[in-house]
Structure 1
Amino acid sequence: MIKAFENYEVWFVTGAQLLYGGDAVKQVDGHSKEMVDGLNDSGNLPVKVIYKGTANNTHEVEDIMVAANADKHCIGVITWMHTFSPAKMWIHGLQKLQKPLLHLHTQYNKTIPYDTMDMDFMNLNQSAHGDREYAHILTRLRKPRKTVIGYWKDAKTQEHIAVWERVCAGWADAHDCLILRFGDQMNNVAVTDGDKVAFEQVFGYHVDYCPFSTVMTYFDKVKDEDVTALVHDVYFKQYTVKDDLKDEKSEGYRKIWNSAKAELTIRAVLEDFGAKGFTTNFDDLGDANVEETGRGFDQIPGLASQRLMHDGYGFGAEGDWKSACLYRTTWFMSQGIEGGTSFLEDYTLNFDGDKTSILESHMLEVNPDISEEEKPRLEVHFLGIGIRKSQTARLVFTTKQGRGITATVVDLGNRFRLIANDVNLIKSKPLPKLPVASALWIPEPTFEVGVGCWMNAGGTHHSCFSFALSDEYWRDFAEIADVEACIINKDTDYEQFRKELRWNEVYYMLNKSLR
């Protein structure tokens, strides 16, 4: 079990009935307990599985599902039909269930005992029968769920359950997630805007505005000695810093010190509000006369954003609250898996045949977790954008190479669409005159198809990247949220993808009417 998920649990419910007698149900119960113990002891599941017994009639099913809804530790329910469980008895419980659902199609026995199998064995071991009956009612109810098919002891089966558990954890976290907006969206930008009320209805995230006047009350309370300690005891030890920037009389040191004060300010606000993420806007940074008054950020808090992303806070630049929400979930689901995550933005293209790629970066805000350097460089350079045009600190590095996935959510007016694209990060050449953190990637299946599908789907120029996740995570997340998922990978065909976008318009209109 991953320590980050130690307060969560997933419930396991076995479907049965009393048609075959009480002794048969006792065997079902014993087999189920053994299976749950085996899943927990496998070491492959990040969240503990709790066995909640057999459900033998409508009232038992309903009681378990209502209890799951009310239990703050329960983040999802796994159901399995050991024997034949008439599906009409599941209707009321499934209608009331509000937690994520996984249907496990497995069997206690791995193989058929040809030489000894009798009618008693047949009556007891009917997953091939009962799971189809149960799956029918899930489909009839239009119930979102994940279906995992395979022997319960197999690592591959357990890995699919583990992915779903991580997504359930991310889903639970999203429903207890406050994002603070320090400033509004960038003026006239469409894709980062959207309906916050509908977004909370669908995904659970709560997004609030925090005036910069409020931020300044925390800024004024930050102690100079705490800022100096952060600079010397953390920044100068964790990062590569040139000697001239360590000179306390230099402008570079002062800019690093100012960045540290911005970090402590934002941390204090987030902790006090109980927020799990934030957005910034380079046009809203406090007192416009900061050089004279000393009240405000002397430049956008890039270094603070980089370090706060490392600690799991959601972040979106230019007021992009949807990315701040999704980044928090990206990071949360990735805990305990090697690789790293970051907010990124598409910047510029490098046309080079089969190696045509996109430079990913942002002005300052890229998570050092994806750096190929053990100690990123802490540097100070001029940034001439927004309300402040001045020198500012940032971590500079190039990213690791390898395969990852990037994701975004867009508001289409009548629904939300989740878009994810497998990408391959490649080695970048040095950028001596562009002192920012950057990545260079080739979208799958090819640059032309990957970019074309992303753009046809209405994808953003901001996205949330992870080395640790796969498209299975985002498919599960979209299934739980009951939103459209557009996955772009090595198997994607451009024209087929465009057709599916059109089909999806019809599907989601009809699906809504059926409910």
Structure 2
Amino acid sequence: MLSIPKYEFWFVSGSQHLYGEETLKEVAENSKKIVAGLNEKGNLPYKIVFKEVLTTADEITKFMKEANYNDNVAGVITWMHTFSPAKNWIRGTQLLQKPLLHFATQYLDYIPYDTMDFDYMNLNQSAHGDREYGYINARLQKHNKVIYGHWQDSEVQRQIADWEDVAVAYDESFKTKICRFGDNMRSVAVTEGDKIQAQIQLGWTVDYYGIGDLVAEMNKVKESEIDDQYVDLESKYIMVQGNQSKEEFQATVRYQLKQYIAMKKFLERGGYTAFTSNFEDLHGMEQLQGLSAQLLMRDGYGFAGEGDWKTAGLLRIFKIMTHNTKTAFMEDYTLDLRPGHEAILGSHMLEVDPSIASEKPRVEVHPLDIGGKADPARLVFSGDEGDAIDVTLADFRDNFKLVTYPVDAHKAEKDTPNLPVAKQMWTPKPGLKNGATKWIEAGGGHHTVMSFAATEEQVRDLATLYGVELCDIN
């Protein structure tokens, strides 16, 4: 499984010296208690570290510089406990290059009417301190997140947790390297894109390798390595020999395992965390990557077919964001347009991530009418049921665009004995006709990322951090 560094988030409180040292001490104590409470609750995927109370422009600027250059810091969380003059935050905020969460909260969740005095009012001014601070972020057009509510509220903690996952995915985005085994499918538009702009705006490095480079790596794989992977495969999935002889079935599966081992070594050596394949570029290969690609997605790698590096990169980002949970490469394939049955059947020839399976996947070997190579092994299963989202990344030259809608995922009404692939049914929640029409009008492609674990709010936050256009069809 691909690992993620042990990130943390730095928490600072804003104040000033107008109210005296005792007030500043209380600000610090309350801040420490809030951070400790958030961490101890266990709802956050990454630790929050209280750093200090900031009162001057120099302190703020120094802190933001330190956050930028500490590789363990995924983002900054700010809280205006008292009134912090926002001019002090201008230079530091301009310099900050990491995700920023403005946490608009208050130490107590109630007003102590019987005991409240001006000392209390001076200490607990976040009601208007947050607006002063929020104004300067809006004026600077800072791509920050605002979460409003009491720090002990479970919904607020969920929002912080979700934002942490987006912030880490954004930071990891600038380390993302995508390996293209072969070029794009010929004559297809949506798989094209500006790789330089992607590196500038999304942080992704996109590199090409000829399929011969992968074939050379496959030739180095030892039979003993394949033996080990075959045993592991048998322990995790159902092996379905079908009409093949035992020898033919094993040989076909072993070839996919050879691909898997070779691609994983190739990707690890180059620091790549996402990759593409193309059925039109298979010179020297016996089979198109099927089972091999599915196993790498299971391990956390991003992937897309036909050389679609944008979707491969997007899948990797969503896998980071969802901790590699129930998130898959998908493609709109065929439709049920009958009233009361409206649905999309999604698949992709072979390569659908088993993380969305509703049953134990089966390893099967069947013909493939595309690519002109030998029958490939693949994992066959039906997708899951429940609330999910579908999202794609399109390149419009002047900007990238994320197109998304929420979906109601479900299983097919009947078995498909003549379609031996992994498949997922879903219906856009805005309705199939309305949702699909808006998707097409927005220029959304047919390759997507489907996730049962990510939320629409996280897609919005990611679009904000990237500075890309968002078309949220809901």
User: What TM-score, normalized by structure 1, do the two folds share?
Assistant: 0.89
Equivalent residue, structure 2, for 1:236: 234
Distance 1:23 1:4 in 2: 44
Write the letter of the residue equivalent to 2:307: G
Distance 2:152 2:32 in 1: 13
Distance 2:243 2:312 in 1: 31
Question: 1:85–1:130: 8 Å Cα contact kept in structure 2?
Answer: yes
Aligned pair partner of 2:314 in 309, 321, 326 = 326
* Correspondence 1:15-26 to 2 at 5 A: 15-26=14-25
* Correspondence 1:474-489 to 2 at 5 A: 474-489=459-474
Deviation at 1:47, TM superposition (A): 0.7
Aligned pair partner of 1:271 in 264, 268, 271 = 268
Secondary structure, counterpart of 1:353 in structure 2: coil
Question: 1:6–1:47: 8 Å Cα contact kept in structure 2?
Answer: no
Equivalent residue, structure 1, for 2:189: 190
Asked if 1:70 corresponds to 2:58, the answer is no
Distance 2:70 2:267 in 1: 27
Question: 1:355–1:442: 8 Å Cα contact kept in structure 2?
Answer: no
* Correspondence 1:114-153 to 2 at 5 A: 114-153=113-152
Asked if 1:286 corresponds to 2:283, the answer is yes
- Give CA-to-partner distance per residue, 1:150-203, whole Å, 9 cap, x none: 001111111111110000111111111111000111111111111011011111
Equivalent residue, structure 2, for 1:500: none
Aligned pair partner of 2:429 in 415, 428, 444 = 444
Distance 2:65 2:25 in 1: 24
Deviation at 1:242, TM superposition (A): 3.0
Secondary structure, counterpart of 2:18 in structure 1: coil
Equivalent residue, structure 2, for 1:316: 304
Deviation at 1:389, TM superposition (A): 3.3
Question: 1:303–1:364: 8 Å Cα contact kept in structure 2?
Answer: yes
Distance 2:300 2:244 in 1: 28
Write the letter of the residue equivalent to 1:343: F
Question: 2:178–2:205: 8 Å Cα contact kept in structure 1?
Answer: yes
Question: 1:246–1:253: 8 Å Cα contact kept in structure 2?
Answer: no
Distance 1:356 1:267 in 2: 39
Asked if 1:411 corresponds to 2:395, the answer is yes
Question: 1:383–1:392: 8 Å Cα contact kept in structure 2?
Answer: yes
Deviation at 1:390, TM superposition (A): 2.6
Deviation at 1:5, TM superposition (A): 5.6
Write the letter of the residue equivalent to 1:319: G
Secondary structure, counterpart of 2:110 in structure 1: coil
Secondary structure, counterpart of 1:252 in structure 2: helix
Asked if 1:369 corresponds to 2:355, the answer is yes
Secondary structure, counterpart of 2:367 in structure 1: strand
Deviation at 1:10, TM superposition (A): 0.6
Distance 1:181 1:404 in 2: 28
Question: 2:14–2:80: 8 Å Cα contact kept in structure 1?
Answer: yes
Distance 2:418 2:340 in 1: 26
Aligned pair partner of 2:288 in 280, 296, 300 = 300
Distance 1:425 1:396 in 2: 18
Deviation at 1:253, TM superposition (A): 2.2
Deviation at 1:213, TM superposition (A): 2.5
Equivalent residue, structure 2, for 1:459: 444
Write the letter of the residue equivalent to 2:266: V
Question: 2:241–2:249: 8 Å Cα contact kept in structure 1?
Answer: no
Question: 1:444–1:488: 8 Å Cα contact kept in structure 2?
Answer: no
Write the letter of the residue equivalent to 2:411: K
Distance 1:325 1:403 in 2: 23
Distance 2:42 2:3 in 1: 15
- Give CA-to-partner distance per residue, 1:242-277, whole Å, 9 cap, x none: 35689553x222211111111111111011111101
Question: 1:327–1:464: 8 Å Cα contact kept in structure 2?
Answer: yes
Question: 1:245–1:253: 8 Å Cα contact kept in structure 2?
Answer: no
Distance 1:32 1:179 in 2: 41
Distance 1:36 1:472 in 2: 23
Write the letter of the residue equivalent to 1:308: L
Secondary structure, counterpart of 1:319 in structure 2: coil
Distance 1:308 1:108 in 2: 46
Asked if 1:216 corresponds to 2:202, the answer is no
User: What TM-score, normalized by structure 2, do the two folds share?
Assistant: 0.97
- Give CA-to-partner distance per residue, 1:310-345, whole Å, 9 cap, x none: 110000100000000000111111117xx6111000
Distance 2:54 2:243 in 1: 67
Distance 1:197 1:4 in 2: 26
Deviation at 1:421, TM superposition (A): 1.2
* Correspondence 1:336-347 to 2 at 5 A: 340-347=326-333
* Correspondence 1:471-510 to 2 at 5 A: 471-489=456-474
Question: 1:377–1:396: 8 Å Cα contact kept in structure 2?
Answer: yes
Asked if 1:256 corresponds to 2:253, the answer is yes
Secondary structure, counterpart of 1:485 in structure 2: strand
Question: 1:185–1:193: 8 Å Cα contact kept in structure 2?
Answer: yes
Question: 2:241–2:364: 8 Å Cα contact kept in structure 1?
Answer: no
Structure 1, unpaired ranges of 5+:
288-296, 490-515
Secondary structure, counterpart of 2:334 in structure 1: strand
Equivalent residue, structure 2, for 1:378: 363
The alignment covers a number of residue pairs equal to 472
Distance 1:304 1:258 in 2: 9
Equivalent residue, structure 2, for 1:512: none
Question: 2:192–2:308: 8 Å Cα contact kept in structure 1?
Answer: yes
Equivalent residue, structure 2, for 1:469: 454
Cα pair distance change 1:284/1:447, threshold 3 Å: same
Distance 1:366 1:389 in 2: 20
Distance 2:26 2:178 in 1: 49
Question: 1:382–1:389: 8 Å Cα contact kept in structure 2?
Answer: no
Secondary structure, counterpart of 1:7 in structure 2: coil
Equivalent residue, structure 2, for 1:511: none
Question: 2:181–2:276: 8 Å Cα contact kept in structure 1?
Answer: yes
Secondary structure, counterpart of 1:410 in structure 2: strand
Comparing 67-76 with 418-427, greater Cα deviation is found at 418-427
Distance 2:240 2:350 in 1: 19
- Give CA-to-partner distance per residue, 1:271-303, whole Å, 9 cap, x none: 11111010001122232xxxxxxxxx2111110
